[in-house]
Each structure stands twice: as structure tokens, then as C-alpha cells.
């Protein structure tokens, strides 16, 4: 299989990830208790859409139809979102930071296995500095007022990881090109295990930044 | 009352209009029968958010808190949206074009009554060329397949105007600064009537472009 199949798959998965993130963040913005929170969550959504546009343009430049490239990943991503639908504003904030962070770490790892142009593009569209600040501020303030909330949000963080891993496995089991890219890129299964450890460690750091157990 | 009160009100109303349009268009994107339609509607939503950001920045530059400036207009705009919640994809497309076009025409008229900087900013954030093309294509294709739909969409267009006028009247009755701006800007009540006629005419042109009776 040519490498470009894996690149199209990778960009397609990431593009749909951004499009669905846009959609769900825009929804979640409605949970905000203040207009300030709502506009910040909406800004994250709009940013995801801008990323989607960059990725769709690159797919088109590579001769792929963005919709066709995204189609194989719609079910897994929508399943992830439906299983991790926030029921409170804080859950949505933690998801925006922790869930997105997990996905971004995964794509950043995989970006090192593809050609430089694709790798640079992927790293470019994944940046979560602004959302870290926003999430930490919201969650810290809430825990300050109501310390008991920390336990529930820690559980929520674990659920986000669990569902993300589960859907990633479904996608990899389905898409040989991506599975091969991952195994060949990391070298072997021990390499895959090391990658998972790195991603899990960074997830732990994000939870710690929020003042939550991971 | 200083002119700047009216300017803050105007920018606040428009900013919340963009923010709520973002929110509702992002929701409506989920009604799309295809990923192509969904991304186009999402693109409109993201564009509204970009406009919101420009308006919020200008409010801040004028020394106003964007959230405080928007607050007086939240109820009227949310009422408009809840009374015109699309139940089909085509209703959402017509609303995105016709409803937005109506609002844009109104703001463009009022933009001529304020200082040049504010006026230019308002005209800048209101541009509906892309959405016209998109709406006309979607509605034409649907009517081609199912001519009976035209009657229902024409009624929908009338409902959009009716609710928009009704909510605008509520806002004007509530905000002396805007009412004065409108009456002084048009010269007198006959001027207001002429403005309404111009807006209604342009609404008719948009409905005609969609192949619908107005």
C-alpha cells in the first residue's frame, strides 16, 4: 500500500475530528453559565473549524475528496462524542481540554511517521495553549467553590480516556493503512506500547494541571 | 444622550446577533443531508463567530464590556431563534440566507446614521455573497426534485420576516437610544417607513432568487 493512502486516512480522520469537535464544542457552549464562558467555548469551536478548512484544503490538494476521506471515521468519532456527551459546563470544559489534548498527542506522535509536509501541517493545526489556560481557570474556580466536584471530574477524565482509546482501537482495526503506519512508525509493538505510555503520561499532566487525579 | 450610547447599543445588538447566529447555524448544520452541506453551513457559523470577534474587539476599544453591551439584546434574539427554529435542512438554508439577509439590510441602513468608523466596521462584517450562492443552489435543487416544497418554503420565508420585525420592534421599544438613532437618521417617521420598504423589497429579491414567492 502506498504511503499516500495512510496520509489521506490520517488527514481524513483528523479533518473529521476537527469538524465534529467544532459541532460538539458549539453545542457545549450553550452549557456555559456566563456569556464570557460561552464566547470562549465558541471561539474554540470556530478555531476547530478553521483547522478543518486547512485539512480539507490539503486533502483536495492531494487529489482526495475531503468528504470521502472523512467518511470512514464518522461513525467512530460520533460514537466517541455520544458516549462522552457532557452534562454540565465543567464536564464540557474538561472534555475540551483533556479529550482534545489526548487526540492532539496521538496525532502529533503519528505526524512524525509521515512525510515532512504532512507532519508539519498536522502539528500546525494542533495547538492547545489557549484552551489549557481557559480550562484550568474554569476548573480551579469551580473546585475552589465546591471541592467535592473534583472527584466527579476525575472520573469524567478517566471516562474520556477510556472511550478515546476504545474508538481509536476500532478505527485501527478497521483501517490497515493506519495500523501499519503506527506499527512501522514506532518500529514494533513495544514501540506502540511506549507511544501509549507517553500519551497517558501527558494526559496525567493535564489532569494534574486541572487539579484532578488521573 | 450621547451618540456613543447608540453606537454601543448597535454594536452590542449586532455582536449578539452574530454570536447567536453562530450558535444556531452550528446547530442547524446537523440537519444537513450530506457532509458537503454540513461543512458549508458550519463555515457560515464560523464566519459569524469571526464577525462577533471583530465587534467584541471594537466594543472593548470603545471602553465597553462586550458581554454587558450584548446583554440587553439576548432575550429578543433568542426569542426570534426559538420561534424560527428550522425543522428541516431547507428551512435552515432559507433562514441562513433570508433571515440573515434581512438583519444585514437593517444594520447596513442603520450604519449610515453613525460615525464613519462604526459604519465601515458594520458594513465590513455583513457580507452575504457566499451564502446566497449556497442557498440558491440547495433550494433550486430541492425544488427541482420536489416542486411542492416551494409553497411551504415561501410560507417559511414570510414567518422569518414576521418574527424578525416583531423582535426588532420589541428591541426598539426597549432601547430609546436605538429608536432615536433610527428616527433621527431617517429624518422622520416617513423616513422610517421608506427604510422598511427598502428592506422589504430586498427581502423580496432574495426570495425570488431562491425561486420562492415573497
Q: Give me the DSSP letters along chain A.
A: --HHHHHHHHHHHHHHHHHHHHHHHHHHGGG-SSHHHHHHHHHHHHHHHHHHHHHHHHHHHTT--HHHHHGGGHHHHHHHHHHT--SSHHHHHHIIIIIHHHHHHHHHHHHTTS-HHHHHHHHHH---HHHHHHHHHHHHHHHHH-TTHHHHHHHHHHHHHHHHHHHHHHHHHH-HHHHHHHHHHHSSHHHHHHHHHHHHHHHHHHHHHTT---
A35 touches chain B (CB under 8 A): yes
**Sign of torsion, CA B5 B8 B14 B20?**
negative
pLDDT number for residue B86: 97
pLDDT number for residue B3: 59
Share of chain B above pLDDT 90, in %: 77
Q: Do A42 and B22 touch (CB under 8 A)?
A: yes
Residue B45 has pLDDT above 90, yes or no: yes
A82 touches chain B (CB under 8 A): no
Query: Which distant-in-sequence residues (6+ apart) come within 8 Å of A142 by Cβ?
Result: A90, A149
Q: Is A10 exposed, middle or buried (0-12, 13-18, 19+ CB in 10 A)?
A: buried
pTM of model > 0.90: no
How many CB atoms within 10 Å of residue B202? 16
Q: Do B26 and A30 touch (CB under 8 A)?
A: no
A39 touches chain B (CB under 8 A): yes
Read off the pLDDT of residues B114-166 as tens digits, 9 standing for 90 and up: 999 999 999 989 877 778 889 999 999 999 999 999 999 999 999 999 999 99
B210 with B98: CB under 8 angstroms? yes
Instruction: Using the structure block, give the residue that is written with the C-alpha cell 453545542.
Output: A27
Instruction: Please report which helix (H) or strand (E) contains residue B97, including its range.
Output: none
Query: Which distant-in-sequence residues (6+ apart) come within 8 Å of A54 by Cβ?
Result: A121, A124, A125
Q: What is the pLDDT along chain A (214 residues), one digit of tens a residue?
A: 445 889 999 999 999 999 999 999 999 999 999 999 999 999 999 999 999 999 999 999 999 999 999 999 999 999 999 999 999 999 999 999 999 999 999 999 999 999 999 999 999 898 777 788 899 999 999 999 999 999 999 999 999 999 999 999 889 888 888 888 888 888 887 888 888 889 999 999 999 999 999 8
Give the gap in angstroms from C-alpha B76 to the nearest C-alpha of chain A: 16
Q: How far is residue B159 CA from its own chain's centroid?
A: 14
B43 → chain A, closest CA residue: A49
The three cell numbers locating residue B184: 433621527
B39 → chain A, closest CA residue: A19
CB under 8 A, 24+ apart: contacts of B168-175: B168/B76, B168/B106, B170/B76, B170/B79, B171/B13, B171/B72, B171/B73, B171/B76, B174/B72, B174/B76, B175/B9, B175/B72
Give the gap in angstroms from C-alpha B46 to the nearest C-alpha of chain A: 5
Q: Which one has a higher pLDDT value, B183 or B12? A: B12
Q: Average per-residue pLDDT in chain B?
A: 92
pLDDT number for residue B192: 85
Q: Do B70 and A42 touch (CB under 8 A)?
A: no
Most confident of B38-47, B130-139, B183-192: B38-47
Q: In chain A, what residues touch B26 (CB-CB under 8 Å)?
A: 22-23, 26-27, 45
A145 with A213: CB under 8 angstroms? no
Q: Do B46 and A22 touch (CB under 8 A)?
A: yes
Give the gap in angstroms from C-alpha B179 to the nearest C-alpha of chain A: 26
Choose the closest CB to A23 out of B30, B49, B50: B30
Q: Do B19 and A39 touch (CB under 8 A)?
A: yes
Please report, in angstroms and rounded to a whole number, the separation of the first and last CA atoms in chain A. 39
Instruction: Using the structure block, give the residue that is written with the C-alpha cell 417607513.
Output: B193
Residue B32 is classified by DSSP as -
Q: Do B23 and A29 touch (CB under 8 A)?
A: yes
A23 with A56: CB under 8 angstroms? no
Q: Is A180 exposed, middle or buried (0-12, 13-18, 19+ CB in 10 A)?
A: middle
The whole-angstrom separation of Cα B42 and Cα A72 is: 20
pLDDT number for residue A127: 75
Residues present in chain B in total: 214
A69 → chain B, closest CA residue: B35
Amino acid at each position: 500500500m502506498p504511503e499516500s493512502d495512510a496520509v489521506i486516512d490520517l488527514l481524513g480522520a483528523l479533518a473529521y475530528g476537527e469538524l465534529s469537535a467544532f459541532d460538539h464544542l458549539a453545542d457545549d457552549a450553550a452549557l456555559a453559565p456566563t456569556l464570557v464562558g460561552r464566547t470562549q467555548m465558541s471561539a474554540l469551536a470556530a478555531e476547530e473549524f478553521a483547522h478543518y478548512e486547512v485539512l480539507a484544503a490539503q486533502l483536495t490538494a492531494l487529489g482526495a475528496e475531503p468528504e470521502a476521506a472523512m467518511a470512514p471515521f464518522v461513525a467512530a468519532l460520533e460514537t466517541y462524542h455520544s458516549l462522552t456527551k457532557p452534562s454540565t459546563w465543567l464536564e464540557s470544559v474538561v472534555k475540551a481540554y483533556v479529550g482534545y489534548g489526548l487526540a492532539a498527542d496521538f496525532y502529533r506522535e503519528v505526524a512524525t511517521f509521515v512525510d515532512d509536509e504532512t507532519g508539519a501541517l498536522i502539528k500546525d493545526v494542533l495547538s492547545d495553549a489557549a484552551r489549557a489556560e481557559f480550562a484550568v481557570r474554569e476548573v480551579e474556580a469551580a473546585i475552589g467553590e465546591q471541592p467535592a466536584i473534583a472527584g466527579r471530574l476525575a472520573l469524567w477524565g478517566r471516562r474520556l480516556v477510556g472511550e478515546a482509546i476504545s474508538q481509536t482501537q476500532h478505527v485501527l482495526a478497521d483501517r490497515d493503512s493506519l495500523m501499519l503506519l503506527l506499527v512501522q512508525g514506532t518500529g514494533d509493538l513495544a514501540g506502540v506500547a511506549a507511544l501509549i505510555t507517553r500519551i497517558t503520561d501527558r494526559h496525567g499532566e493535564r489532569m494534574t494541571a486541572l487539579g484532578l487525579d488521573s
